[in-house]
């Protein structure tokens, strides 16, 4: 029990230092060719969406305006909740796009 407490305290005290030094876990960029994004028609640049193939696409729909985009609309990339937190382009799009409330 005491050793668990020590590990916890050591971790807590080291966290601010790690942030100051820029040490963090890097998020992974999503690849269009991965199985899940490919199945949902993810495209990193929404202006290249084939409107005939994806009839649900409408101009102006981008990841940055999606409810699943876990970042600010101005962020160039952010984690996507549907793709396990992998980074998607703010200018991207997929068929799972619901409008941000």
Instruction: Report residue 2 as tokens.
Output: 């005491």
- Name the β-bridge partners of 99: 66
Tell me the pLDDT band of 5, cut-offs 50, 70 and 90: low
49-89 tens-digit pLDDT: 999 999 999 999 999 999 999 999 999 999 999 999 999 99
Q: Which helix (H) or strand (E) holds 89?
A: strand 87-89
Q: 62 vs 22, 23, 55, CA distance in Å? A: 30, 30, 15
Class of domain 26-89: few secondary structures
- Name the β-bridge partners of 87: 29, 79
How far apart are alpha carbons 78 and 69 in whole angstroms? Answer: 7
Examine the pLDDT at 25 and tell me if it is beyond 90.
no
pTM (2 d.p.): 0.72
Examine the pLDDT at 46 and tell me if it is beyond 50.
yes
Looking at per-residue pLDDT, the higher value among 27 and 62 belongs to: 62
Mean residue pLDDT of the chain comes to: 84
């Amino acid at each position: 029990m005491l050793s668990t407490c020590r590990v916890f305290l050591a971790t807590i005290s080291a966290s601010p230092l790690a942030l100051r030094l820029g040490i963090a876990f890097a998020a992974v960029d999503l690849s269009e060719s991965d199985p899940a994004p490919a199945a949902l028609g993810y495209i990193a640049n929404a202006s290249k969406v084939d409107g005939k193939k994806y009839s649900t696409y409408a101009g102006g729909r981008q990841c940055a305006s999606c409810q699943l985009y876990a970042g600010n609309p101005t962020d160039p990339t952010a984690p996507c909740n549907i793709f396990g937190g992998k980074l998607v382009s703010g200018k991207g799009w997929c068929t799972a796009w619901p409008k941000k409330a």
